[in-house]
Structure 1
């Protein structure tokens, strides 16, 4: 598969439903790419690791972090340019509209965030759906229009009623990345921690669990403890190291060394 471009995503709106995952490790990135997940959100540092493109050569890569981890508009630009140089395809930005505008003005593909924005949840009442009332649905639409006017090509639309997302999708030119906002999004986005079942806190309602890595991690941890316990007991009981674990030399060498050592330490 050829590496996707922004133009490809926009042209495929409503024609092909894209899969997107947040991955935290190279192993997860490789698994996602091999599994056919087209869009990957990654920690920014991962972009600088040349192995990312070795394991996921065709994936559309979004580095992203919360706006308060990056800073002002100038900080975002200084953050984005090296990432773009190292192969990032687009940038998640929950910062100011001025930041989106500045990045877009420099030709950097930007994805904004609307609806439930976890880093700004205090404004919409915490971790809950946004858009269930006329007023909040209008807010989501205003956020979409503002991001588009600022130059974003996409927005993550999070925990918005599916009917509101569908109505917005019919009226916007943006690529909508749905996280719990319904099938009208042009991509469906989840975190690999939830998909793999390794999230040990509350699983969001919109998430779907496909594996039980937490149980497997617990099993492996029990194996670690058991193996390391036997190792410690072997040492304490004098059973390790055993002869098969040792290397030695000829007795003549040992005798000569001891004679030399006796003289050297007088």
Structure 2
């Protein structure tokens, strides 16, 4: 564990620092997942995950579950419109104990944050919220021209001061070539094994929905448990209604009692 002071001047321990991640580029592959609750963060820690990422609003909950994991806080794309909004939110998140800031905004926002020595994760490849410019949700880098344009985007983000990049649904061979040529720490979400970090949403890893995206794989089956919970909830509510109708609930064990003498006194005073 590395000893650090966070932006609130609080002594803390971290499994990795920004400097460590840079030093490990091309040497050791790390794993990353999402965490937005205390339980998700604790599960990631207990599961041996190296890095976590979640919404900046959830920092306090995440830090309770995994105080020592390197945490990247995401600033929601539509939530902070102006540069002042972004900078204020980023400073607040770092003060709360985040280790880096994620933004899906352009290089001008990356540069704004990087000028303040904030480790910034940008987003290249498929950016789902901007998918209208790609003609929908699809892989990026399927042609030489598109791959070169993507490489130029990586260089632009480097020049803006980005520290790392969420590289989403980029053709695997293109990703591998770019990763060896960029100084950015590359986090592959559906972009193959050729990046520095392999990243997957926790809900996809745990199988929390009936189907996973093409780039994901379910390593668990929480969806079946959720379906059981939904079924048992309805069974319980139906049984409760029936028990009331048959005057079986509440029964003696669920009711408070009064002694006969006190009850008789109560009735007498009522009458």
Tell me the CA shift for residue 203 of structure 1.
2.1
Mapped contact 2:75–2:86 kept (Cα < 8 A): no
The answer for unaligned runs of 5 or more in structure 1 is none
Of 236, 255, 261 in structure 1, the residue corresponding to residue 264 of structure 2 is 255
1:225 matched to which residue of 2?
234
CA separation of 1:69/1:199 partners in 2, compared to 1, >3 Å: closer, same or farther?
A: farther
2:8 matched to which residue of 1?
none
The answer for unaligned runs of 5 or more in structure 2 is 3-13
1:235 matched to which residue of 2?
244
What's the C-alpha RMSD, in Å, of the aligned pairs?
A: 1.4
Task: Determine if the alignment matches structure 1 residue 141 to structure 2 residue 151.
Answer: yes
Number of equivalences: 259
TM-score normalised to structure 2 length: 0.91
Of 182, 204, 209 in structure 2, the residue corresponding to residue 199 of structure 1 is 209
Tell me the CA shift for residue 87 of structure 1.
0.3
Of 28, 31, 52 in structure 2, the residue corresponding to residue 19 of structure 1 is 31
Of 164, 179, 197 in structure 2, the residue corresponding to residue 187 of structure 1 is 197
1:48 matched to which residue of 2?
60
2:94 matched to which residue of 1?
84
CA separation of 1:213/1:117 partners in 2, compared to 1, >3 Å: closer, same or farther?
A: same
Mapped contact 1:66–1:119 kept (Cα < 8 A): no
Distance of 1:66 and 1:142 partners within structure 2: 25
2:73 matched to which residue of 1?
63
TM-score normalised to structure 1 length: 0.93
2:253 matched to which residue of 1?
244
